[in-house]
Structure 1
Amino acid sequence: MKAIFGVLGATTMFLLAIPMVFANGGPATTPYACGRLGVILDTIRTLESGGDYTIRNANASAAGAYQYITATWRHWAEQADVSTDTYPTADTAPPHVQDQVAGVNVTSILADNDNQIETVPVIWYYPAALGNDTIMDQVPVPSAGNTLTVREYQTKWLDIYNEKLAATDDDATVTCASTDVTGEWALPVPREVIDISDLDDPHHTYPAWDVEIPTGTPIYAITGGTVTNVGTWTGNWWRAGCGGNNAPAACTSCGVGITIQHPDGLRHTYCHNVHAHVAEGDTIAPGQHIGDSGDTGRSGTPHLHLELRINGIRHCPQPLLAALYNGTAIPKPRELPATGCSF
């Protein structure tokens, strides 16, 4: 199977993913998000690589689950705050990072095209065909081994997308993100970024949990509920001079923060993100990708700050997180200690 090259018109001069002619495909193993974005990414992976995050096209620089050429990968990795020094090509990045970059890419496509799903496969396959009926009915670069017209590719893509979307409607957790999900609970970050010694680290002033992780690491909801607040301040407390006499009015300690209220009274909050992928009023599933970690708010280094509250009282997340990580019995939130997990 060979790759084709495409050129996108007015919205950007960067190449998007270079797709392979249909891989045999298969279900995604680590979707980036619940809901529509997760299904879109699942569909792209299925057609581009069969869900293989390590694949590399022998005839081009296209690589990874989404078949990004190197130049395109570098552009979208930068947009997603992913280091291309650490991950110079898509296939060198772990699955959750590839998902993260593609998620930012797809979100941009949708934003530029009035959220029309049908534009995604056209741009991913051959961007020059967008809005051009003549090119839509041509096979792009047949010398590269392609046999489908752009419209045929789009039709095939949408058929698979709709099948996956219907399956998701039957089981809302099918397309949740790549984290350990145990019934109603999930780790808040990918397992691979957690050192077991981090799990009992005390918070510096009150019951909470901080873990240092690179900017752009996916943040997952530890359990479900309804989003009650999404902070929007992308500044950093110290660099913005929030402690000074002329502090900006926008200063907030949580920065881009997300608070979710569970029906049983548990309120869980995630601070210092660089992006939020949810909005107030959204219904959230356990393990859903809700944001990307960052250094916003009152933060001295990129990290996740996790708080659990019941009736306004903070409880220590550490025993719950250790149980999730170790696969042991999960304590009830109300039984978590309210002291002993801070300096």
Structure 2
Amino acid sequence: MSVPLWAWIAVIGGLLVILAVDLWIVDRGEAREFSMRQAGYWVTFYITLAAAFGVVLWMTAGAAKAGEFFAGYITEYSLSVDNLFIFFIIMSRFAVPKAYQHKVLLIGILLALVMRGIFIALGAAALERFSWLFYVFGVFLIYTAVNIVRGHMKGDDEGDFNENVLLRWVRKAFPTTEGYVGSKITVKIDGKRMVTPMLIVMIAIGSTDLLFALDSIPAIFGLTTDPFVVFTANAFALMGLRQLYFLLGGLLQRLVYISYGLAFILGFIGVKLISEALHASGVSWAPEIPIWLSLTVIGSTMVITTVASLVKARADARRSEESSPTRG
């Protein structure tokens, strides 16, 4: 799809305005905790906004492009839910006060959005020039899916967080205060400029989300190679992520089957990439999977795994109550 420059400017400008309004409304005044009701309103707003954008895309570019956007958006949003597990661990590890967590998430997500934009531009250019990369992306997604399942079956904690090279470098390069100084990221103590743990955790969130892009960017390129659709699907999925963090809360711990669902989606897209690359190369037996089927598979998988997780969590809670000693 050929998208004029003014459309790119309008979309990116509109997203920046919305984020600025979000920042002004949520973060104005004194720092305070993010309420469940407030998070629910914002999540609903961002999902509605994404749906409206998809409808506009349907009206202007056709059903196929709209289908690619919705499939990409659902995939990226689903993978973002998995990212929230790590965000919870990072917040706990750095003991971020609840009143400042939404600001940490906002800055981290803005950094990730900029870096993902660069990734998308590079990926689109590379795929256009080197078609064999579709096979590489496909194998990588299948490999990732297998590793997710193996790790889950072994009981590995998805929340294990290891500091990356960037984070270790920042810790060594800049003197850090022992505790938080409000929401400040730097502070001057005895004439010496020091960074606070707030900056460290922001870098942790942003760089960790960038690592997750190594899975999500190839996944969405398996659904569409249109840079405009890839970028907007990623942007809308990331924009409501911090509100989703507070809305889900402890519910994430109950989504025990979500990893299997995400692994199935990544594996499906990996197979789709390889199959369509073979089809484009003239292999007659390799099918070209239509976008409506991809959208159906992705949506159905997330619904099934979510419902199954909640049913299991309720059954486990019931068994726990039945096995607990009766109080007199």
TM-score (ref. length: structure 2): 0.25
- Bigger RCO (CA 8 Å, 6+ sep): 2
| Structure whose residues are more often helix by fraction | 2
